[in-house]
Structure 1
Amino acid sequence: MTQQLLINSNNQNQYLADCQQCFGLCCVALPYAKSADFAFDKDSGSPCKNLQADYRCGIHQKLRSSGLRGCTVYECFGAGQKVSQMTYNGKSWRDNPELAKEMFDLLPIMQQLHEMLYYLTESLSLQDAKPIYAEVQKAIVETERLTNLNTLTLLELHVPTHRAFVNDLLLQTSELVRAKVKIGTHNSKHSKNIRGRDCIGAKLKGANLKGSNLRGVLFIAADLRQADMRKADLIGADLRDADLSGANLIGSIFLTQAQVNSANGNSETQLPSALTIPDHWLD
């Protein structure tokens, strides 16, 4: 069983949303306020008005133009189908209203665990992280074990404690990947480690950020055109409305499709092979 789990854990796609196997949990459980990302207010536990009887979004292809671009950048990392099909064995919140609140409360917990699994499986795909493969595999097994706990135990789980354990391995991965990167001489004013910095609206066109620690950096509406972001650690970086036109992100780590979807770019933007150029970049 463990050996099979370790083999399957190398498939990062298993930790991506499969909406056809989910009961539209994110469209009900999550609250949001009217803003640039959402056209109207919605309370937690209240179904979105666009959620259909088959648990599908009625305006999925028109979310951005309908003022709901926030929906296009949400990623449950496969937690939705896990809760729907495994935790509750295919029982929906509509047919079993007594389970609804519990399911909705469980989704964000499962989402966090699956997000960790997504990053851990990426670590296993990186040759530079080979020295810690064994520790990463153990972390995957333990995190998977947590996702399979009974609902009451999961609801009481102190996620930050486990996240700290996983984050240590992700930091080690980042250091191993970035250690071999030589910082270029141009744009030397940009530090290799700007973790957590506020770069909202920053003018970084052509910046040399290769091999940089960009964890949690606020790049909201930043100008990153033609920036060199190869081998950069982008876990948690906020790229909303950042302009990545012509930027090179090949080999960057811990970058998600949701982050890419939140940004702007063009056909000249170079992304890691696992990610795709969003349709709105080509409009």
Structure 2
Amino acid sequence: MAKERSIWLGKPPGYIRKLDEGILIKCDALKLLNSLKDGCADIIFLDPPFNLGKKYGSNSRKEDKIAESEYEEFMRSVLFSSMRKLKEGGALYLYHLPQWAIKFGALLQQHLTFRHWISVTMKNGFVRGKYLYPAHYALLYLTNGEPQVFNRPKIPAPTCRSCGKYIKDYGGYKHYIESGINLSDVWDDLSPVRHAKHKKRAENELPLELTRRVIQISGLNNGLLVDPFVGSGTSLISAVEAQMSFVACDREKIYCDIASRRVKEYMAERTCDC
């Protein structure tokens, strides 16, 4: 597990919550990353605030809306530190708006191997000014050289909600897709969790299936996931499912509490199922 590994340059940068499956720390993303030894992470998953002026935890809207130059400088520091922490063959995933993904992707590609720009459907968006209707988020996937792990997950072929038949005509190849179709770089079956009934926090959160696919593609047994913007802990559940350990942080105590509770509840449910 992460807590048993020699992954720290010195002391961890904040209050630690030690779980059997990994470590949660209340601290800033950069402080966590800069406290880790280089080359320790198998996967780094980045889902940072988008600088849109939204309220997160105890922070005001103003704290999530800073000058673009200041935000870009912060994110560049996060990305450079993240790249140093990746193992040879490790994978970095960045979830962001396309306007930022194109900037940060260009930076990352100077040092890492570009694998995919994954388009994740954004439903219920709104037209913004003199622009086309925004319909996707970007999930950038890059590796430190050749990937040490690469799996091609399969997903169920889409079916009609009314009749249950396949939407597409697969002709004589129908028997090939009974076990699923190969995952592409367009994920149009996912959407952020917005309904209060299904959310772990007040703000939007990622669907579990998104981080589950990330781990399915790049995860390995006993590997280490680093998530410096843990939010509600969705990535941690996916890591634990795949028997990976984690080191994660959030500067908001409430999110550390939510993520910790969520992992504990998942482990309790899994124990009961056994």
- The structure whose residues are more often strand, as a share, is 2
- The structure whose residues are more often helix, as a share, is 1
Relative contact order, CA 8 A, sep 6+: which one is greater?
Answer: 2
TM-score w.r.t. length of structure 1: 0.32
TM-score w.r.t. length of structure 2: 0.33
